[in-house]
Chain A
Amino acid sequence: MNMIEVQGLTKKFGDFTAVDGLTFQVAEGEVFGLLGPNGAGKTTTVRMLCCLISRTAGDAHIAGYDLANPADSLKIRKLIGLVPDNIGLYEELSAYENLDYYGKLYECTPDERKTRIEYFLKMMELWEKRDLPISDFSKGMKQKVGIARALIHDPRLLFFDEPTANLDPESARSIREFILQLKKEGKTIFFNTHNLDEAQRVCDRIGILKTRLLAVNTPQQLEKNVWGSRTVIQVEEVSEPVLEAVRRLDPVSLSVEENKINIGINDPTRQNPDFVQAIVAAGGRIQYVTQLNPGLEETYLKIIQ
């Protein structure tokens, strides 16, 4: 079952188009990352999906509920949790009071609130600080409380908008680990980020957004779609007969850099042995054979450009 289904979703602010014709699906239990530069429309997309702002055109369904139907709006908000980019906790209140307040707004019973607040604060190692005002917390600690707030009603779908932005590496790592744990628990997660490394580690699929959705796929498949598969064969010496032997096998692309032969290949598993055999037969002495991975960053930049 798809938790999110979006078809031609568009948002305009006056003459400015923030999001144009988005179409994608997110399956239940999937972690979907939306990558894009600042101003690409990531936050606007999340706000539309969380029923915070209206759409200008297109359709969207969350767990079968229609975003366009005002009667479904409260039902949608009940089953989602949002961790916004500005975490927005009440600085004068304690961590416990902040979570209790949101527990009430999400209509949790007093017992549920008590149990879940204790569970999350202990899990995030903040239980001892539960009565301290939020103003005394570090940014990483506030981010953890913000995540606990989004989880207080045990939502099926979570939206994270830049959850590790401006955090130190240690805090960012603990947030990522927590998100991975939520993934194991089967939560559906929609993840906005421009941290490519984080997206690669956490997300099952990635969408690249720059007002329009430019590409959607798994990180590996995105790379493959952009670059194809490339094999690098390092030989002792690149001679003309060796190159001629490679050319005869009709590679997608071929380039040479010092003693490395860079070959574009459609099906490396099947074709690599042929290339190796041809090079050896032409008198080439092979030192290494490696698969070239440009990485998500290169892929992202290529798509965005």
Chain B
Amino acid sequence: MRLSKAWTVASKDFKTFTKKKGILYSSLYFELVVSIGLPFLVLYISGKPNAVAALPQLLNAFSFLFVIGAALLPVSIASYSLVGEKVQKSLEPLLATPTTDEEILAGKSIAAFLPAICSSFIGALVFTILIDLFTYSPLKYLYFPNWDFAIILFLLAPLVCILAVGFNVLVSSRVNDVRTAQQIGYLIILPFGAVYFLTELKVLTQTTNNLLIMAAVVAVIDGIVFYLVRATFQREEILTKWK
């Protein structure tokens, strides 16, 4: 596989997104709320009496939202990237070029993965700075960085992001319009949302070990989804069965 070809495909999608800003903006609202809105909520709460003891648990819970963000952010981009090609009927001329299926798939995946993970990292940076700034005084120590957040950000979030991209490729092969692809694609958030609420309900606990186990499970699912995506993203399949 030639990475330069994959990058050409991805660059074209980046260019498209800069012209269809709605696709990018729709992905960024969540990131803005988490990385800026939540620290201000924490600032408000930390001023309340007896709030200091509850702060670590609250910040732990908020950290997990970056996993949900990693599942959410690539959905609109991945949906548009593939279903957009279907709608514009541009897959046939694209597949007629001397570009392999793997290079096209890699390009499409990079186009969805890179903006999502970059915005996650930038959001996380803003989040950690603001949280440390607002909580240093009541906690008397810097809450971030910590190992759990590092696992969430550098291991779990990328794996979840890959899963969301793969899931959306599978969804895109079965639907004909971008909105339907997005609506179905957002279902990928459900298992991670469930983990978040079960943690809040104290059914699960967010420990380093649990996060590592979760990362391992997601990695295995990534492998299965990758296998399915490779089987689906075949030029003959695309031209004759992707309706």
Smallest CB separation, B25 vs chain A (Å):
15
Q: Which B residues are CB-close (under 8 A) to A88?
A: 88-94
Contact mask for chain A residues 71-102; partner B; CB cutoff 8 A; 1 contact, 0 none:
00011011010101011111111000100011
Q: Is the CB of B97 within 8 A of A86?
A: no
Measured in the bound complex, the distance between the Cα atoms of B20 and A145 in whole Å is: 22
| Inter-subunit contact A52/B89 (CB<8 Å) | no
Most chain A CB atoms below 10 A, which of B8, B91, B93, B240: B93
Q: B52 to nearest A CB, angstroms?
A: 51
Q: Is the interface of B mostly helix, strand, loop or mixed?
A: helix
Contacts of B96 in A (CB 8 A): 50-52, 77, 80, 82, 84
Is B15 close to A, CB under 8 A?
yes
Contact of B20 among A84, A89, A92 (CB under 8 A): A92
Inter-subunit contact B236/A149 (CB<8 Å): no
In the complex, residue of chain B having the shortest beta-carbon distance to the beta carbon of A81: B96
- Residues of B within 8 Å of A82, CB to CB, are 92-93, 96
A47 to B95, CA, bound (A): 10
Query: B217 in the interface, Cβ–Cβ < 8 Å?
Result: no
- The answer on a CB contact under 8 Å between A77 and B98 is yes
Are B98 and A74 within 8 A (Cβ)? yes
Would you call A52 and B97 a contact (CB within 8 A)? Answer: no
Q: Which chain A positions have C-beta within 8 A of B90?
A: 88-90
- For residue A288, CB closer than 8 A to chain B, the reply is no
**Complex Cα–Cα for A149 and B236 (A):** 22
Q: Report B's interface with A, CB cutoff 8 A.
A: 5, 8-9, 12, 15-16, 19-20, 88-100, 235-236, 239-240
Residue contact A52 to B95, C-beta cutoff 8 Å: yes
Q: Does A229 belong to the interface (CB within 8 Å)?
A: no
A13-B240, A104-B8 known; A86-B15 Cβ under 8 A: no
Can you list 6 contacts pairing A with B, beta carbon distance less than 8 Å?
A: A77-B96, A80-B96, A82-B96, A89-B90, A101-B8, A102-B93
CB distance from B111 to the nearest CB of A (A): 13
Is there an interface contact between A105 and B236, defined as CB atoms closer than 8 Å? no
A54→B99 CA distance, assembly (Å): 16
Q: Nearest Cβ distance between residue A15 and chain B, in whole angstroms?
A: 15
Given A86-B89, A92-B16, A133-B19, 19 new contacts (CB under 8 A): A47-B239, A52-B95, A52-B96, A52-B239, A54-B236, A82-B92, A82-B93, A89-B88, A90-B16, A90-B90, A92-B19, A93-B12, A93-B15, A93-B16, A102-B93, A105-B5, A105-B8, A105-B97, A105-B98
Inter-chain contacts of A53 with B (CB < 8 A): 235-236, 239-240
Query: Total interface residues on A, using CB and 8 Å?
Result: 33
State A82–B16 Cα separation when bound (angstroms): 23
Tell whether, in the assembled complex, residue A52 and residue B98 are in contact, meaning their CB atoms are under 8 Å apart. no
Quick one: which of B8, B88, B235, B240 contacts A91, CB cutoff 8 A? B88
A105 near B99 with CB under 8 A, answer yes
Residue in B9, B93, B98 whose CB lies within 8 Å of A84: B93
Q: C-beta contact mask, A102-130 vs B, less than 8 Å → 1, else 0?
A: 10111100000000000000000000000
Cα distance A101–B16 in the bound complex, in angstroms: 12
Knowing A47-B239, A74-B98, the reply to whether A149 touches B15 (Cβ < 8 A) is: no
Q: B95 contacts which chain A residues (CB < 8 A)?
A: 52
Q: Smallest Cβ distance from A162 to chain B, in angstroms?
A: 13
Q: Which of A47, A52, A101 contacts B12 (CB 8 A)?
A: A101
Decide if A90 touches B12 in the complex (CB within 8 Å): yes
Pair A78/B98 contact, Cβ less than 8 Å: yes
CB pair B8–A52 under 8 Å, yes or no, is no
Tell me which of B88, B93, B240 contacts A149 (CB under 8 A): B93
Q: Which residues of A contact B88 (CB under 8 A)?
A: 88-91
B45 CB to nearest A CB, Å:
43
Per the 8 Å Cβ criterion, residues 21-64 of A in contact with B are 47, 50-54
- Whole-angstrom distance from the CB of A298 to the nearest CB of chain B? 34
Residues from 125 to 168 in A contacting B, C-beta threshold 8 Å: 133, 146, 149-150
Instruction: Enumerate chain A residues within 8 angstroms of B15, measured Cβ to Cβ.
Output: 93, 97
**Chain B residue contacts of A104, Cβ below 8 A:** 8
When distances are taken between beta carbons in the complex, the residues of chain A under 8 Å from B99 are 105
Q: Which residue of the partner chain, among B97, B236, B239, contacts A102 with CB atoms under 8 Å? A: B97
The chain A residue with its CB closest to the CB of B20 is: A92
CB B9 to nearest CB in A, in angstroms, measures 8
- B58 to A: closest C-beta gap in Å: 42
CB distance from B145 to the nearest CB of A (A): 40
Chain B residues, Cβ within 8 Å of A107: 98
Q: Which residues from B are CB-within-8-Å of A105? A: 5, 8-9, 94, 97-99
In the complex, what distance in Å separates the CA atom of A101 from the CA atom of B227?
29
Bound-state CA distance A54–B238 (Å) is: 12
Q: Do the beta carbons of B98 and A106 come within 8 Å of each other?
A: yes
Task: Give A70's nearest chain B residue, CB to CB.
Answer: B100
A74 touches which one: B8, B89, B100, B240 (CB < 8 A)? B100
- Please, which residue of chain A has its CB at the minimum distance from the CB of B19? A92
Give A102 Cβ to nearest chain B Cβ, in Å: 7
